[in-house]
């Protein structure tokens, strides 16, 4: 029976037990068991909820072959992750390249105000792209919390083999930049504009190398579909233990930040140290991060 087979496959794909699926649908575990064995059939509103939960059409759920359709990238995961990796890597590389442009502009006698404006434009463009890409990624995760692993073993192994050359090439590029910069300072006069040219060239090489490293790393992560699914499963369908640990970590972080705020206000009012104890808040943030790692939900 297509429905029972599809339901069994989809539940297993999303790593849900019959109890977990029954809890999300507000039915008994026995009902789920009967559906999967073909003894009974769910009501129409439950079928619609199943379609939303597993991100499949009603036709696929009731009459199609969900496992066969899973072999295709119906969500556009590969194309989305490719674009995402390019946006992030080029934005970070652009920030470094902007830093490489600054000494060159200074050596060309460009006014400092204009140099600052150019750098601000570069930073603004990069940050906008990074923030927008991050929002798009989170929206994609929410729309597609589970992705079938449609990559073949040959595809994964082929990229993993190329990954060695990407990483070694990027590291080699950084070392080459260091060597060329040292040679430039040795052979060229130690005065402007040569020093600015050397510094700008070095940062440009670093920008390209870092871009390649980030791009290659994100492409490598793209093939780890199981990791993507586990992370989304934990975030969108946390266990009771995860919820308790997250609640404890939240309480501790709240106390830490309240103490930081109290200390800041107290020292500010009593000793007029408003401009000197600002570091309490970043320290509090670091302690919160440590607390979450220590007692928050465990990563698989």
Whether residues 254 and 198 fall in one domain: no
Whether residues 157 and 224 fall in one domain: yes
Which among 213, 215, 208 is positioned nearest to 96, based on CA atoms? 208
Whether residues 103 and 210 fall in one domain: yes
Whether residues 194 and 111 fall in one domain: yes
How confident is the model over 142-148, as a mean pLDDT? 84
pTM of the model: 0.61
Q: Give the pLDDT band of residue 249 (cuts 50, 70, 90).
A: confident
- Contact yes or no for 102/115 (Cβ under 8 A): yes
Domain boundary among 232, 256, 274: 232
Give residue 28's domain range.
Answer: 2-69
User: What's 108's DSSP letter?
Assistant: T
Does residue 217 lie in a domain region? yes
State both tokens at 250: 């939240």
Whether residues 224 and 168 fall in one domain: yes
Which among 184, 202, 212, 172 is positioned nearest to 100, based on CA atoms? 202
Does residue 121 lie in a domain region? yes
pLDDT number for residue 202: 85
How confident is the model over 32-58, as a mean pLDDT? 88
Does residue 288 lie in a domain region? yes
Q: What is the mean pLDDT of the chain?
A: 84
What is the maximal distance between C-alpha atoms in the chain?
A: 87
Please check the confidence at residue 225 and state whether its pLDDT lies above 60.
Answer: yes
Return the minimum-mean-pLDDT range out of 135-144, 157-166, 175-184, 276-285. 276-285
Domain boundary among 232, 266, 284: 232
How confident is the model over 240-258, as a mean pLDDT? 80
Residue 49: which CATH number? 1.10.260.40
Whether residues 168 and 217 fall in one domain: yes
Contacts of 115 (CB under 8 A, 6+ apart): 102, 105, 106
Say how far apart CA 293 and CA 246 lie, in whole Å: 10
Q: What percent of the chain has pLDDT over 70?
A: 93
Whether residues 113 and 220 fall in one domain: yes
Whether residues 219 and 252 fall in one domain: no
Please check the confidence at residue 247 and state whether its pLDDT lies above 70.
Answer: yes
Whether residues 87 and 215 fall in one domain: yes
Please check the confidence at residue 64 and state whether its pLDDT lies above 60.
Answer: yes
Domain boundary among 17, 46, 69: 69
pLDDT number for residue 191: 67
Does residue 55 lie in a domain region? yes
Please check the confidence at residue 234 and state whether its pLDDT lies above 80.
Answer: no
Whether residues 276 and 200 fall in one domain: no
Whether residues 206 and 281 fall in one domain: no
Give the residue, 121 or 285, on which the prediction is more confident: 121
Q: How many CB atoms lie under 10 A from the CB of residue 287?
A: 16
Whether residues 215 and 82 fall in one domain: yes
Q: Give the pLDDT band of residue 296 (cuts 50, 70, 90).
A: low
């Amino acid at each position: 029976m297509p429905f029972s087979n599809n339901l069994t496959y989809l539940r297993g794909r999303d790593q849900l037990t019959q109890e977990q699926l029954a809890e999300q649908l507000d039915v008994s575990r026995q009902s789920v068991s009967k559906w999967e064995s073909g003894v009974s059939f769910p009501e129409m509103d439950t079928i619609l909820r199943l379609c939303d939960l597993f991100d499949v059409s009603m036709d696929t759920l009731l009459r199609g072959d969900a496992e066969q359709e899973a072999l295709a990238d119906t969500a556009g995961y590969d194309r989305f992750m490719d674009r995402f990796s390019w946006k992030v890597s080029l934005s970070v590389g652009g920030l470094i390249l902007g830093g490489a442009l600054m000494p060159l502009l200074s050596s060309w006698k460009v006014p400092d105000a204009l140099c600052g404006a150019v750098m601000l434009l570069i930073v603004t463009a990069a940050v906008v792209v990074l923030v927008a890409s991050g929002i798009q990624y989170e929206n994609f995760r929410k729309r597609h919390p589970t992705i079938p692993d449609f990559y073949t073993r040959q595809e994964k192994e082929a990229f993993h083999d190329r990954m060695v050359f990407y990483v070694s090439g990027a590291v080699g590029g950084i070392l080459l930049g260091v060597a060329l910069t040292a040679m430039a300072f040795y052979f060229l006069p130690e005065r402007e504009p040569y020093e600015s040219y050397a510094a700008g060239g070095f940062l440009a090489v670093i920008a390209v190398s870092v871009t390649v490293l980030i791009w290659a790393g994100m492409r490598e992560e793209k093939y780890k579909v199981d990791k993507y699914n586990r992370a989304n499963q934990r975030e969108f369908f946390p266990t009771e233990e995860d919820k308790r640990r997250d609640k404890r970590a939240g309480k501790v972080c709240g106390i830490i930040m309240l103490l930081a705020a109290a200390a800041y206000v107290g020292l500010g009012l009593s000793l007029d140290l408003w401009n000197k104890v600002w570091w309490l808040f970043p320290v509090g943030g670091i302690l919160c991060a440590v607390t979450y790692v220590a007692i928050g939900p465990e990563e698989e």
